[in-house]
């Protein structure tokens, strides 16, 4: 048969033909090459045919351009334009050479047979986005004219409303999405379904999951019937769910399909025999091995023979770290503990762990652009797991602790884990000596209770940063990288080792007050009030100090107008030209001089700092002007300090009235003083680290600019996609692999869209936590109580700090907060986060501001809608969604 440029048989197709036949067509061509596999024969009408149709309808170009400019919110206009595009395609006559190619193949395969006519888009069944079900499929199509007509319908289905919206949401250009059409001989199965070579619920790569129902798979895919679900692992059926299958879809003789009710006996019958289930598992593993990654496979069973009609990569699985042994491993997310679950760029992902490795000897690994720690040694060590799973881990992220307890309940699985040297809850080699000296230091700090200790430490570090700025000036090339690593050593010594005792004292004081005042006076969460307006807390002061800047801004209406349309390139130049701009510029510059090193996701050195993009402050400034009176910084501080002092005195008075409690009252007075003097230390090391990181970043930017000037690097930000070791080598060799940078950028774009698990195994299983719901109202969202109190208000679901826009009474609902969010806390009445524990940023700041807060509420940003009224119970740890006037906001 002569080659027709518009038609390719399955035998002529492989992955190199992806742009011609789309994802589905390319995968069918590959499947046809696997020995021992039954794939119904067929062919593809190529994307060249689709492009030819588009070229013969001139109005389509303009319609597609209009469609590309629309946002997902422009629903009505999007539907209107999509309908016009579909109509134009269906009304365009199919050129004769395309028809001839189709009819020649039909004659070869059997032109009177029944066929499935299926869409295959170039943006479909790809490793990073499945696009499954976005275009149309037509089953049991009989006759040449009917098949040609359904090819045109498939072409038009590239522009169904759902396909257009899906592409827009995933950032695919409508003009670049092309469609091939798969024409494949029909199979008329007794049973059909879907096989996942990794469990779609748990993500376990070692478990095959099979959905099966009677008749064609259309009933299952369209949700008309509950399928049987079989789970298989290593040749053993580990679970079976036999569903009530009330109907099936079957082909009818004259073409098309029909629904048919099933009899009572068949409804409860297992769709596949055990032998067939195990046979199908082997087939799935063979296909997975061929493609080299987990697959989502469509299959059907006819006359005892399995036919494979599609296989696509499973795009929802989180990537796994490489394993070099035959043991099982358990990985814990460090991203959740560091309040940075967004994807990290390679430079940040290599540099920050330098610091983490000083705190723990646990092996750090990377997966999906996030840091994880292999905690298998802790879980297999009796002493290690006792220390590791103590209350400290729960205070960082309660869901991690609960998930790890879930793992520990699997006694047989624990025996299969890698046995390494446990770091005993985070203490690395040599740290025991540091701990001992830290304890002696803590005793001295506690006894002296110097109110100026923190101020002196802060002044010392500020001087070190100034010295760093001077010393780094003379560094360049590979020497700059080594200089940065050496300074991180010195910073660790100054901030952590030299102040080990401060951390011990503040943590001891917190627990002493929390536990003893509950035991003696029945006081719950009294430390929340006692922490308010504590001295030298750099993070809470950062939020309150922005109120001073707002006081300057609110005096000048022209500045308020300017801020609404300011851009970073001309921010300060334009600001000084408007009335009051010079005064506001000075205020902002002074603020940035102290806090500008901070920003969203700041522990990744590649992330933008406020000083680099001052417009990031604008939403917070406008919120402060709108929601606060002049002088609010001093008013709030005085009020919170008064509340804390009043509470402290009340506690002392109550203790003194108890028989024999004079000593308790005296100890409590001392402990409250120590607690308030040193509680701010918890927030300081990260701030100091960001001061150093900003100096490093500026030096690296200068070095990158030199590489750009020399033609070695395309743009300065490309260094963000190299680890520090690769960067050192690039500086030495003066060579950078553009292909590596391009691949890293593509990987990062994929990783950005993934949601990292808190805990997962080396099999890919995502371990979930289980909450006790007994003490919460029905339907409440359960989390961890982080700051006491109950508040009702409007939910403000905010995923990016740039989108922050609050009004009085709003409750922030977000994935997580880091110190860059602190400035918005003064505008809030409550806090709900998906990530965190008692001692993470949001919880600490919420307590100091007196805001009820619940953290570790899974999927809070999806389950709570922006504008809904909610009740936050920060004492018991749950959130209720209410009915009320905000619901339609």
Residue positions annotated with a catalytic role? 841
φ, ψ at 251 (rounded to 5°): -75, 150
DSSP string covering 292-356, please?
Answer: TS-EEEEEEEETTEEEEEEEEE--SPPP-----SSSB-EEEEHHHHTT--SPPPHHHHHHHHHHH
Tell me the C-alpha distance between 530 and 552, whole Å. 31
What sign does the CA torsion over 758, 761, 764, 765 have? negative
Q: Where are the alpha helices (DSSP H) in 752-882?
A: 822-825, 841-849, 860-863
Tell me the C-alpha distance between 641 and 353, whole Å. 38
Tell me the C-alpha distance between 584 and 769, whole Å. 49
Identify the residue whose tokens are 């003893």: 516
Task: Give the residues across from 792 on adjacent strands.
Answer: 871
Catalogue the long-range contacts made by 471-477 (C-beta closer than 8 Å, 24 or more residues apart): 472/695, 472/696, 472/699, 475/699, 476/703, 476/706, 476/731, 477/703, 477/731, 477/732
Nearest alpha-carbon partner for 860 in 819, 822, 811, 818: 811
Q: Where are the alpha helices (DSSP H) in 522-566?
A: 526-530, 538-553, 557-565
Tell me the C-alpha distance between 691 and 708, whole Å. 26
Q: CA 473, 476, 480: angle at the middle one, nearest 5? A: 90
Angle between helices 557-565 and 581-595 (to 10 degrees): 60
Contact 186, 109 (CB under 8 A): no
Between the alpha carbon of residue 249 and those of residues 167, 218, 226, 256, 311, the distances in Å are: 30, 7, 13, 10, 21
Contact 349, 604 (CB under 8 A): yes
Tell me the C-alpha distance between 494 and 475, whole Å. 22
Structure tokens at 775: 């003490």
Between the alpha carbon of residue 465 and those of residues 276, 454, 460, 489, 690, the distances in Å are: 69, 17, 9, 14, 10
Other residues' Cβ atoms within 10 Å of the Cβ of residue 620: 27
Contact 750, 839 (CB under 8 A): no
Contact 56, 92 (CB under 8 A): yes
Nearest alpha-carbon partner for 229 in 260, 202, 194, 261: 194
Other residues' Cβ atoms within 10 Å of the Cβ of residue 236: 9
Identify the residue whose tokens are 């989502």: 296
């Amino acid at each position: 048969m002569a080659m027709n440029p518009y038609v390719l048989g399955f035998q002529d197709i492989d992955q190199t033909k992806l742009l011609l036949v789309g994802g589905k067509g390319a995968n069918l061509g590959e499947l046809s090459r696997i020995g021992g596999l039954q794939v119904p024969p067929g062919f593809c009408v190529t994307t060249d045919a689709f492009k030819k149709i588009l070229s013969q309808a001139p109005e389509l170009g303009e319609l597609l351009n209009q469609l590309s400019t629309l946002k997902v919110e422009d629903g009505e206009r999007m539907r209107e334009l999509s309908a016009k595009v579909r109509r134009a395609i269906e009304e365009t006559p199919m050129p004769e050479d395309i028809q001839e190619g189709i009819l020649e193949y039909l004659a070869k395969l059997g032109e009177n047979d029944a066929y499935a006519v299926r869409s295959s888009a170039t943006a479909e069944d790809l490793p990073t986005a499945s696009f499954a079900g976005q275009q149309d499929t037509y089953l049991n199509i009989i006759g040449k004219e009917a098949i040609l007509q359904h090819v045109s319908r498939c072409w038009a289905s590239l522009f169904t409303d759902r396909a257009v919206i899906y592409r827009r949401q995933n950032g695919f250009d409508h003009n670049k999405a092309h469609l091939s059409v798969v024409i494949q001989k029909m199979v008329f199965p007794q049973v059909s379904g879907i096989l996942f070579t990794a469990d779609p619920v748990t993500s376990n790569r070692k478990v095959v999951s099979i959905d099966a129902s009677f008749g064609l798979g259309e009933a299952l895919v369209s949700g008309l019937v509950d399928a049987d679900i079989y789970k298989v692992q290593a040749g053993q059926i580990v679970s079976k769910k036999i569903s009530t299958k009330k109907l099936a879809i079957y082909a009818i003789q004259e073409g098309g399909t029909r629904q048919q009710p099933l009899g009572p006996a068949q409804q409860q019958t297992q769709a596949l025999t055990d032998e067939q289930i195990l046979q199908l598992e082997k087939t799935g593993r063979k296909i997975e091995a061929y493609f080299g990654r987990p697959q989502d496979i469509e299959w059907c069973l006819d006359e005892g023979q399995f036919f494979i009609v599609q296989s696509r990569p499973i795009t929802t699985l989180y990537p796994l770290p490489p394993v070099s042994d035959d043991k099982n491993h358990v990985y814990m997310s460090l991203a959740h503990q560091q309040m940075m679950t967004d994807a990290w760029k390679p430079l940040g992902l290599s540099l920050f762990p330098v610091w983490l490795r000083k705190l723990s000897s646990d092996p750090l690994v990377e997966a999906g652009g996030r840091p994880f720690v292999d905690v298998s040694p802790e879980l297999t060590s009796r002493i290690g797991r006792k220390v590791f799973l103590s209350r400290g881990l729960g205070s960082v992220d309660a869901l991690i602790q609960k998930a790890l307890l879930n793992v520990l309940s699997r006694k047989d699985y624990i025996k299969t884990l890698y046995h390494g040297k446990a770091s005993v809850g985070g203490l690395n080699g040599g740290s025991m000596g540091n701990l001992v000296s830290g304890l002696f230091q803590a005793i001295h700090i506690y006894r002296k209770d110097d109110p100026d200790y923190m101020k002196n430490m802060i002044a010392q570090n500020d001087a070190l940063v100034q010295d760093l700025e001077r010393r780094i000036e003379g560094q360049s090339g590979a020497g700059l990288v080594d200089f940065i690593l050496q300074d991180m050593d010195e910073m660790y010594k100054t901030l952590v080792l030299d102040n080990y005792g401060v951390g011990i004292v503040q943590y001891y004081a917190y627990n002493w007050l929390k536990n003893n005042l509950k035991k003696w006076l029945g006081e719950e969460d009294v430390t929340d009030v006692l922490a308010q307006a504590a001295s030298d807390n750099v993070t809470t002061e950062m939020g309150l100090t922005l109120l001073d800047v707002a006081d300057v801004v609110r005096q000048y209406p022209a500045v308020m107008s300017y801020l609404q349309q300011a851009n970073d390139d001309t921010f300060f130049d334009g600001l000084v030209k408007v009335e009051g701009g010079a005064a506001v510029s000075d205020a902002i510059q002074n603020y940035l001089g102290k806090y500008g090193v901070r920003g969203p996701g700041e522990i990744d050195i590649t992330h933008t700092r406020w000083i680099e993009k001052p417009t990031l402050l604008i939403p917070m400034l406008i919120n402060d002007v709108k929601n606060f009176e002049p002088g609010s910084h001093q008013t709030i501080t005085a009020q919170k300090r008064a509340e804390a002092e009043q509470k402290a005195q009340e506690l002392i008075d109550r203790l003194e009235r108890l028989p024999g409690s004079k000593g308790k009252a005296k100890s409590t007075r001392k402990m409250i003083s120590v607690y308030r003097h040193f509680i701010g230390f918890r927030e300081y090391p990260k701030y100091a680290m960001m001061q150093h990181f900003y100096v490093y970043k500026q030096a690296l930017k200068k070095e990158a600019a030199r590489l750009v000037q020399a033609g070695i690097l395309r743009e300065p930000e490309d260094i963000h996609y190299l680890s520090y070791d690769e960067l050192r080598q690039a500086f030495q060799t003066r060579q950078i692999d553009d292909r590596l940078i391009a691949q890293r950028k593509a990987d990062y774009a994929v990783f950005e869209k993934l949601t990292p698990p808190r805990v997962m195994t080396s099999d890919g299983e995502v371990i979930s936590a289980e909450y006790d719901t007994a003490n919460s109202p029905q339907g409440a969202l359960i989390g961890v109580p982080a700051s006491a109190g109950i508040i009702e208000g409007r939910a403000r679901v905010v995923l990016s700090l740039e989108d922050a826009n609050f009004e009085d009474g709003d409750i922030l609902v977000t994935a997580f907060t880091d110190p860059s969010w602190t400035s918005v806390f003064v505008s809030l009445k409550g806090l709900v986060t998906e990530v965190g524990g008692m001692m993470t940023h949001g919880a600490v700041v919420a307590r100091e501001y007196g805001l009820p807060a619940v953290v570790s509420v899974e999927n809070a940003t999806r389950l709570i809608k922006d504008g809904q009224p909610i009740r936050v119970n920060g004492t018991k740890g749950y959130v209720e969604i209410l009915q009320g006037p905000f619901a339609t906001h």
